[in-house]
Structure 1
Amino acid sequence: MQALWMLLASLLFALMGACVKLAVEHGASMAQVVLFRGLPSVVLLLLWARARNLSFRPVAWMPHVWRNLTGVTSMWLGFYAIAHLPLGTATSLNYTAPLFIAGWILATGTTKKDPVCIAAVGFGFLGVLAVLQPSITVDQILPALLGLCAGALAAIAMMQIRTIGKLGEPEWRTVLFFSVIVCLTSLVGIAIEPWGRADWLGWLSLLVIGITGMGGQLALTRAYGLGNALLNAALQYTTIIFASLLGIVFWEESMDRLAIFGVICIVSAGLLSVWRTAQDEA
């Protein structure tokens, strides 16, 4: 079932986010984080593709161009928001992507307008707000706007992934192209800012960022390439649940009643979407 691919992607991205936080806490620079986000995917996928004598020529170039332009820009804007906003606020802004997807689908009529799935997306975002409880001050308006732009661009990138999947493009090639562009942009960042002074735990975190990022991107690409766009949008919110649990385990972060209510909303939204999709496929 394609929903399982999105759940796997959500778990891996939650682990990646935890390692990003850990790496920065232990001396890694943002450019290093971006570099290690893409480098393992480039190396491993190149070796794997060459060993199987697979072609690197895409089915079509332009969907990849738009996917990478929007996806990589979204990643950098999201990192900027995280660097200048409370983590909860930045994350909630980054997770507005599913709302932009639902709005686009409603406006263009590109797929079945299922009010149950659309309601689940909105209900899920309500849960995200309850869990993260964001607040923005006057001096945080610019980072907040950039974080919101990151969510909008991520939505475009996700829809491009779906287009690429419909063209028959294999997941590994889509992830490889994205990772190459990520690495190239990180080199620009390294040229601008000083090289970080990460300790051994920071370097270990950077390595895990690359591995979980690659696995999460592969699972995400497969989910959006073959699954229901609105279902994936709702299930993507489970990243917040996984991240909250990691925060409790590793940073002893507590959850109040409002946050618990948010988790219930998120889970309910995912289950509602799964039920609706199962009804449609029956």
Structure 2
Amino acid sequence: MMKPTEPALAAPDVPVSRWRLGSAWMVVAALFFGLMGLFVKLGAQHFSSTELVFWRTAFGTLTLGVAACWRRERFVTPHLRYHVQRGLIGYISLLLYFYAIAHLPLSTAVTLNYTSPLFLALLSVLVLRERLSARAVAALALGFVGVLLLLRPTLAGERWEAGLLGLGSGLLAGWSYLHVRELGRLGEPEWRVVFYFALISTVGGAVLMQFDRWHAVTATNVWLLLGLGLTATVAQLAMTRAYKVGRKLVAANLSYLTVVFSTLLGVLVWQDSLTLASFVAMTLIVISGILASRR
């Protein structure tokens, strides 16, 4: 799942009704990102993670491409190198995320992916030489305590590999957002950033699938692919709208509702049990992510 990280702040004089609408759009986005995870987990019974990523990004490439052509947008970009770097890192992150969803409880996989703000803050120090405030340092420490608590039963069991890959999806997502931020500073339109990510991921999936076996798309499983593509697209559009008309920090904080919705879906559909330690760990990660996004 990809989240914009450096949208412009809403103007101070934005009417209250408008930024409340932005908050509502982020709630919609969080719900549909949770539903996307639902379709990924259900689809994993019929398709590999590589196939699911391919169909999800192919749907996005088609819809974004058609919309751009309708608006007569320009696809040519002077920053292709940044797009390729961001696309490859983001694609691998999405692969790991979908694999984690397929092999872990939905709430655990989603929470591990939502460690990306922590890794973004850490990478900003290591790569961009930025300085962190005391609050940001405390947020990182708090977040990684939560990660250890959440991964402890997974690492002790048979699904330790999926747990580490899920954490890796958060790391790579944070790294990908560094490129998103740089593209934003270069003045690259948001639609083009999302389009090239989807395009590069689709091409990457098509290449990888040459070394794997395609599973047949039938009348009994095509609804899973359509649901995956539709929920991901609606979530992306709603999130974009939320950041455009709402307040950045409010929208960023509300994005963590995806963890809540995913937990509820896991309980309702698969009867996932949530231990006290897991609940505490998820709470720590969410709080630390909110604090890290305010650095």
TM-score, length of structure 1 as denominator length: 0.75
* Matching residue of 1:172: 191
The answer to whether structure 1 residue 66 and structure 2 residue 85 are counterparts is yes
Separation in 2, partners of 1:24, 1:148:
19
> Aligned to 2:221, what secondary structure does the other structure show?
helix
> Aligned to 1:205, what secondary structure does the other structure show?
helix
The amino acid of 2:44's aligned partner reads V
> Aligned to 1:36, what secondary structure does the other structure show?
helix
Separation in 2, partners of 1:221, 1:65:
25
The answer to whether structure 1 residue 205 and structure 2 residue 205 are counterparts is no
The amino acid of 2:97's aligned partner reads G
CA deviation after TM superposition for structure 1 residue 235, in Å = 6.0
Instruction: Count matched residues.
Output: 272
* Matching residue of 1:15: 35
1:130-169 alignment runs, 5 A limit: 134-137=153-156, 145-169=164-188
Separation in 1, partners of 2:166, 2:108:
9
| CA distance 1:143–1:261, shift in 2 (3 Å) | closer
8 Å Cα contact 2:88/2:201 also seen in 1: no
The amino acid of 2:211's aligned partner reads I
Separation in 1, partners of 2:26, 2:130:
19
Q: 1:52 aligns with which of 71, 86, 93?
A: 71
Alignment gaps of 5+ in structure 1: 278-282
8 Å Cα contact 1:84/1:140 also seen in 2: yes
CA deviation after TM superposition for structure 1 residue 242, in Å = 2.0
% same residue:
35
TM-score, length of structure 2 as denominator length: 0.72
Q: 2:47 aligns with which of 10, 14, 28?
A: 28
| CA distance 1:13–1:73, shift in 2 (3 Å) | same
Separation in 2, partners of 1:9, 1:122:
28
Q: 2:212 aligns with which of 193, 205, 221?
A: 193
| CA distance 1:267–1:101, shift in 2 (3 Å) | closer
Q: Going by fraction, where is helix more abundant, 1 or 2?
A: 1
RMSD of the TM alignment (CA)?
A: 3.9
* Matching residue of 1:280: none
Q: Structure 1 residues 127-136 or 234-243, which shifts more?
A: 127-136
| CA distance 1:163–1:10, shift in 2 (3 Å) | farther
CA deviation after TM superposition for structure 1 residue 203, in Å = 1.9
